């Protein structure tokens, strides 16, 4: 499974109404740390696709969701369960740090 690009128009259906846990990567094209994290996020999607849905939201193309959930810096990663944010991390991290966080939260 790979990550899914989500826009404001389908955020509710793809994230808030999702069956299981969802990790959201809020990012922007101009953000260096976001670009560095992108392949790691895709790897997590591939490795944990059975138990976790992974979506990416470009904050420039879809400003409503990041505003609603208080995103102030990017990259911001949020894990949603049952339509609610259960944990948040901001900034770049190693793949092992990202994996540990996701596994501990999911």
| Separation CA 99–CA 97 (nearest Å) | 5
Exposed/middle/buried for residue 38 (C-beta within 10 Å: 0-12, 13-18, 19+)? middle
Active-site option among 31, 41, 71, 102: 31
Cβ–Cβ < 8 Å for 77, 23:
yes
Beta strands in 1-106 (DSSP E): 4-5, 22-27, 53-58, 76-81, 84-90
Tell me the domain boundaries of the chain.
Answer: 4-105
| Separation CA 12–CA 67 (nearest Å) | 14
Any catalytic annotation for residue 13? no
CATH topology assigned to domain 4-105:
Glutaredoxin (3.40.30)
Q: What is the mean pLDDT of residues 67-83?
A: 96
Q: What was the pLDDT predicted at 1?
A: 66
Active-site option among 34, 45, 55, 78: 34
Q: pTM here?
A: 0.95
Any catalytic annotation for residue 31? yes
pLDDT tens for each residue of 92-106: 999 999 999 999 998
């Amino acid at each position: 499974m790979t990550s899914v690009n989500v826009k404001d128009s389908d955020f509710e259906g793809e994230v808030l109404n999702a069956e299981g846990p969802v990790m959201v990567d809020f990012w922007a094209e101009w953000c260096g740390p976001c670009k560095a994290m992108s392949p790691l996020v895709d790897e997590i999607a591939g490795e944990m696709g059975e138990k976790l849905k992974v979506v990416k939201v470009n904050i420039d193309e879809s400003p409503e969701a990041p505003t609603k959930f208080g995103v102030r810096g990017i990259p911001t990663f949020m894990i949603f369960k049952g339509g609610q944010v259960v944990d948040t991390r901001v900034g770049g991290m190693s793949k092992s740090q990202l994996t540990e966080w996701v596994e501990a939260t999911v």
